[in-house]
Amino acid sequence: MFCSRYLTLSVMWMALMALGLAPVALPAVAQAVDQPCGDDAPADNYQSQGVGLTVPELTALYGPNDVGQGSIFFDMDGVQLHKVGCDLILVFPQDGSGEQVDETALAESLLPPDAELVGTIALGTAIAEFEGNTLWRSPSLADRFATMDENRDGEILIVYTYEMGSGIQRVELRTLELPE
């Protein structure tokens, strides 16, 4: 009975596929993806509170993580610290539920200690530019990326996203990928 029912369902499925009424491929099962700057921390003396750290190193600093859409994140006293590849994103609560925090100081605290300010970059739209975006360079981050075989150097672009009327909503710490 089971075999004939399975055969009947298979034939019906193929007929529906032929008519374009059913997807051709079966649903895919989630697979592990090789993430840049992911799990394997090199044996080096790299110092940082965030940028350039692997998931186990961030977990050692900030505790267990949760999985978000396209990232993992850690709770930092109400602020979410997301790790996306080699980059970090700070997301601040907009409902006033978290403690008041200096977003710029928090973002800069995640840089390696040898990071030096290269300059300020104006980003924005035609009607509003935001001068607070900064570019940093860290020789130790460049060395770490070389050790990890990452196609990146030691530059970090910090980009602030503002929500009109409520201040900084998100801060992205983007490590710059080298051209191939």
| Predicted local confidence at residue 13, as pLDDT | 46
| Predicted local confidence at residue 100, as pLDDT | 76
Residue 78 or 126, more confident: 78
Q: Which of 18-22, 34-38, 57-61 has the lowest mean pLDDT?
A: 18-22
| Predicted local confidence at residue 31, as pLDDT | 40
Per-residue pLDDT of 101-137, as tens digits, reads 889 999 999 999 999 999 988 776 666 556 679 999 9
- Cβ-count burial 27-42 (b if 16+ within 10 Å, e if not): eeeeeeeeebbbeebe
Give the residue-averaged pLDDT of 157-169: 81
The pair of structure tokens assigned to 52 is 């350039």
Q: Which of 6-10, 18-22, 147-151 has the lowest mean pLDDT?
A: 6-10
**Residue 109: CA count within 13 A, CB half-sphere:** 9
Distance, CA of 155 to CA of 137 (rounded, Å)? 4
Q: Which of 27-36, 73-82, 88-97 has the lowest mean pLDDT?
A: 27-36
Most confident of 46-60, 87-101, 127-141, 162-176: 46-60
Give the residue-averaged pLDDT of 66-95: 89
Domain ranges of the chain: 48-177
